[in-house]
């Protein structure tokens, strides 16, 4: 038996240990455990860029393909000063499980460039994107590896990368990556997809708990892409969203936050923040949205917010993880001891990657779906996936996180066995 991997990188080690734990509980064949604990391909590229002041900086770029057992690897490209190979590998592995659980024909990948995006001009970002794109060109493609935006990248970076690779190949390659702007091969509905999926999961959760959304209160941390649309979709379904937040603070109203007004507030703020919302939103500022008096909590801001210092003060009985990794292992234990039920991130926020799959499918066929069609398909898949994990967890007496991981690993393992061990 091959020795099991450990990593000094916390993110990678957590991903590996969660995988080993689930694999042991399932009794997964040790050969498959060895294969799936390693990534198929990890590449490190250098990206020389002539900066605006005439100097040259060489940035480090990465792309990891954890598994292509189910299909082309799928995962974002982030620009961040903490990006390294281990981080990309951990996130690529999580993408394998997320895509598997979502039931879409993708494996898992992740990439990024180590840089400080806040101190780069638009021109410098364009050069980084294009050179990174050229460097990873040999391993990306609509049937091999399909990147997407991630932290500090957007449709603009995707267009630069797609344009570069299309010109290198001498043909337009729109389906080579997703997250493109709607006016250029992007998809209606994609912007809201992750939040809509999180809310759909939350509403299914209420259904199995026999709760009427009209009687439910919720708090949502983060009012960016995921949090704002989660709050909006919950609200539209009748849920009273009593607290919202962003980096400027937490805002509470016992009678429910006016979500439409919150959208107006961020759209009229130069940095798209809720700053000053207590004045126009008829609500009060509170210390921390995570401790708000609400039955359901949707952490949709960032990782690690529910940890050994904060988890004990949570009042909610149910948590739906909209962000990636909002609960640390310590936080998980504390919440579990309190009897809090948690829907894990890679189930709850998979609406984003399911939406990316819809974009890819449209691009491959040269089709453009109406938004309603996109939203209905997304919600149907999310509801089905929630039920699948809920029933699996009930049948095997497991927590949702473990059940979701096991169901995801099982599909990849089954296909690996079918395809055989070759490359």
Q: Which range touches ligand NAD (CB under 6 A), out of 55-63, 108-116, 245-253, 381-389? A: 245-253
Is there binding between residue 245 and ligand NAD (CB under 6 A)?
yes
Nearer to ligand NAD, 142 or 307 (CB): 307
Which residues pair with residue 67 across a beta bridge?
108
Instruction: Tell me which residue has its CB nearest to ligand NAD.
Output: 224
Residue 326 Cβ, how far from ligand NAD at the closest point, in Å?
Answer: 7
Q: Which of 145, 204, 246, 359 binds ligand NAD (CB under 6 A)?
A: 246
Nearer to ligand NAD, 223 or 318 (CB): 223
d(CA 406, CA 125): 39
Give dist(CA 80, CA 113) in Å, integer.
Answer: 7
How near is the Cβ of 67 to ligand NAD at its closest, in Å? 19
Identify residues 344-363 at the interface with ligand NAD (CB under 6 A). Answer: 349, 352
DSSP code at position 327 = B
Contact (Cβ atoms closer than 8 angstroms) between residue 195 and residue 230:
yes
Provide the minimum distance between the beta carbon of 155 and ligand NAD in the complex, in angstroms, as a whole number: 12
Which 8-state DSSP code applies to residue 141?
A: B
Q: Is 222 in the site for ligand NAD (CB under 6 A)?
A: yes
Task: For residue 283, state whether it binds ligand NAD (rule: CB under 6 A).
Answer: no
Is 15 a residue that touches ligand NAD (CB under 6 A)?
A: no
Please, which residue, 222 or 344, has the CB nearer to ligand NAD? 222
Q: Which stretch binds ligand NAD (CB under 6 A): 48-56, 243-251, 252-260, 372-380?
A: 243-251
Q: Give the shortest CB-335-to-ligand NAD separation in angstroms.
A: 18
Give Cβ neighbours of residue 88 (< 8 Å, ≥ 6 apart): 42, 62, 63, 64, 110, 111, 112
User: CA 325 to CA 60: how far, in whole Å?
Assistant: 25
Choice between 22 and 305, CB closer to ligand NAD: 305
Which of 226, 306, 393, 398 is the binder for ligand NAD (CB under 6 A)?
226
Q: Per the residue annotation, which of 110, 125, 180, 240 is the catalytic one?
A: 110
Interface with ligand NAD by CB under 6 A: which range of 59-67, 279-287, 322-330, 381-389? 322-330
Long-range (24+ apart) CB contacts under 8 A made by 359-366 are: 359/178, 359/179, 359/180, 359/185, 359/186, 359/187, 359/190, 360/142, 360/146, 360/175, 360/178, 362/187, 363/142, 363/174, 363/175, 363/178, 363/185, 364/142, 364/175
Question: φ and ψ at 239, to 5 degrees?
Answer: -70, 140
Residue 303 CB, nearest approach to ligand NAD (Å): 6
- Site size toward ligand NAD (CB under 6 A) is 20
DSSP-derived letter for residue 215 is G
The dihedral over CA atoms of 390, 393, 395, 396, expressed in degrees to the nearest 10, equals: 170
Contact 90, 109 (CB under 8 A): no
Is residue 194 at the binding interface for ligand NAD, with CB under 6 A as the rule?
Answer: yes
**Tokens, residue 69:** 């057992």
**Distance from C-alpha of 347 to C-alpha of 94, rounded to nearest angstrom:** 11
Which of 102/114 has CB closer to ligand NAD? 102
Instruction: Tell me: does residue 185 bind ligand NAD (CB under 6 A).
Output: no
Is there a catalytic annotation at residue 110? yes
Binding region for ligand NAD (CB under 6 A) out of 6-14, 31-39, 217-225, 311-319: 217-225
Asked if 192 is part of the footprint of ligand NAD (rule: CB under 6 A), the reply reads: no
Helix (H, G, I), strand (E, B) or coil at 31: helix
In terms of Cα–Cα distance, which of 239, 249, 245, 197 is closest to 224?
Answer: 245
Of 284-313, binders to ligand NAD (CB under 6 A) are 300-303
- Sign, Cα dihedral of 150, 155, 157, 163: positive
Q: Which residues are catalytic?
A: 110
Q: Give the binding site for ligand NAD (CB under 6 A).
A: 194, 221-227, 245-247, 300-303, 322-324, 349, 352
């Amino acid at each position: 038996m091959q020795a099991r991997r450990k990593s000094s990188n916390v993110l990678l080690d957590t991903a590996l240990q969660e995988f080993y734990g689930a694999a042991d509980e399932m009794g997964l064949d040790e050969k498959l455990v060895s294969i799936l604990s390693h990534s198929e391909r990890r590449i490190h590229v250098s990206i020389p860029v002539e900066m605006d002041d005439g100097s040259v900086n060489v940035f480090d770029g990465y792309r990891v393909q954890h598994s292509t057992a189910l299909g082309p690897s799928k995962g974002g490209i982030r620009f961040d000063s903490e990006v390294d190979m281990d981080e990309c590998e951990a996130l690529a592995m999580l993408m394998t499980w997320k895509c598997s659980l979502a039931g879409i024909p993708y494996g898992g990948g992740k990439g990024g460039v180590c840089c400080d995006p806040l101190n780069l001009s638009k021109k410098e970002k364009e050069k980084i994107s294009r050179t990174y794109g050229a460097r990873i060109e040999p391993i990306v493609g609509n049937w091999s590896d399909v990147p997407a935006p991630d932290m500090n990248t957007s449709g603009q970076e995707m267009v630069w990368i797609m344009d570069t690779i299309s010109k290198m190949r001498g043909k337009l390659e729109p389906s080579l990556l997703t997250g493109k702007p709607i006016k250029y091969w992007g998809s209606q509905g994609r912007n809201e997809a992750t939040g809509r999926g999180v809310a759909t999961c939350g509403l299914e959760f209420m259904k199995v708990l026999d709760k009427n959304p009209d009687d439910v209160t919720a708090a949502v941390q983060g009012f960016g892409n995921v949090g704002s649309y989660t709050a909006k979709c919950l609200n539209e379904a009748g849920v009273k969203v009593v607290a919202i937040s962003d980096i400027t603070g937490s805002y509470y109203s016992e009678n429910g936050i006016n979500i439409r007004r919150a959208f107006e507030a961020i759209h009229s703020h130069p940095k798209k923040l809720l700053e000053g919302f207590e004045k126009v939103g008829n609500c009060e500022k509170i210390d921390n949205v995570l401790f708000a008096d609400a039955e359901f909590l949707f952490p949709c801001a960032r990782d690690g917010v529910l940890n050994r210092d904060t988890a004990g003060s949570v009042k909610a009985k149910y948590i739906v993880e909209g962000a990636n990794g909002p609960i640390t292992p310590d936080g998980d234990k504390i919440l579990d001891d309190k009897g809090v039920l948690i829907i894990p991130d890679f189930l709850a926020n998979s609406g984003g990657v399911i939406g990316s799959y819809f974009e890819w499918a449209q691009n491959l066929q040269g089709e453009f779906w109406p938004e309603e069609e996109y939203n209905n398909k997304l919600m149907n898949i999310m509801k089905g996936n929630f039920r699948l994990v809920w029933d699996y967890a009930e049948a095997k007496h497991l927590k949702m996180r473990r059940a979701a991981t096991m169901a995801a690993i099982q599909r990849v393992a089954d296909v690996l066995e079918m395809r055989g061990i070759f490359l």
